[in-house]
Amino acid sequence: MQSVKGRTLESYIKRRTREQEAKGAPKIFSVDVTRLSIALEIASALEYLHKQKLIHRAVKPANIFLSSSEGSAQNQQEAILGDFGIMKWGDFQASLTTGTLTATMQHGLGTLKYMSPEQAIRPKDVTVRTDIYSLGVTFFELFTNQILASSHHVFEIYSARMSRGTTASRFFQMGHQISSTDEGLGELVLDMHLRGIDGRPSIDKVRGRLSWEYNRAVKITGE
């Protein structure tokens, strides 16, 4: 297996949280080239898995590893999706559905805070959209510079998404500011938290939006 020298995305976010708190900065949903690059690489990895009918089922910052790419800019991070210990393949899923394999104790797989409702309640029925939910929580943490304390905080995001108002008012409801230029991405991240799997965007839509945002950010900053 590949040896990755670096740190996890979780430690990266926590460091940025400390920096933000030290400056006394307000809570903001914001993007930059580095974080967009990280998000795009994660989404690209998941897109590849989903095309192979593979479900990761454990997408979270602690399972994403960052290391500097050879020959890259000093601050550029390469994001690598790891920990495939509970990944589910189409044939394995079919076996569970037909009862050939048992789903006993499947409820304990994954981390509750990042776990989609269907994965927690009906693990044998999960589809690739369960990874979208987990990815949405991960992206919210990445773009707000905070690791959410519990699953209750994730439910707050869902509640904000279901409330009336604009994307800006929904983030304000959660105590975050968001600029008008970032509202499109913010809206996408909120949609990734929807309870019904049909309401969540597909991974190719997520990757496509991130690619567009990344290219826009590069043009603006000239990086």
pLDDT digits (tens, 9 = 90+) for 149-183: 889 999 999 999 999 999 999 999 999 999 999 99
When pLDDT is cut at 50, 70 and 90, the band that residue 84 belongs to is: low
For residue 53, the model assigns a pLDDT of 87
88 in a structural domain? no
Lowest mean pLDDT among 1-10, 31-40, 53-62: 1-10
pLDDT surpasses 90 at 124: no
For residue 109, the model assigns a pLDDT of 46
Share of the chain above pLDDT 90, in %: 58
For residue 82, the model assigns a pLDDT of 80
For residue 223, the model assigns a pLDDT of 60
Tell me the range of 46-55, 60-69, 133-142, 149-158 where mean pLDDT is highest: 133-142
145 in a structural domain? yes
75 in a structural domain? yes
204 in a structural domain? yes
134 in a structural domain? yes
pLDDT surpasses 50 at 98: no
115 in a structural domain? yes
For residue 6, the model assigns a pLDDT of 63
pLDDT surpasses 70 at 108: no
Return the CATH number at 165.
1.10.510.10
Q: Which residue has the tokens 């309870």?
A: 195
104 in a structural domain? no
* More confident: 81 or 44: 44
What's the rounded Cα separation, in Å, for the pair 55 and 39? 18
What is the pTM (predicted TM-score) of this model? Answer: 0.83
Alpha carbon 154 to its chain's center: 12
What's the whole-number mean pLDDT along residues 45-55?
91
For residue 96, the model assigns a pLDDT of 45
What's the rounded Cα separation, in Å, for the pair 188 and 151? 20
Domain extent, residue 41, equals 7-83+110-221
DSSP 65: E
* More confident: 1 or 53: 53
For residue 112, the model assigns a pLDDT of 85
User: H helices within the chain, ranges in order?
Assistant: 9-23, 33-51, 90-98, 117-121, 129-144, 151-162, 167-173, 183-191, 203-221
93 in a structural domain? no
Give the count of domains, the chain.
Answer: 1
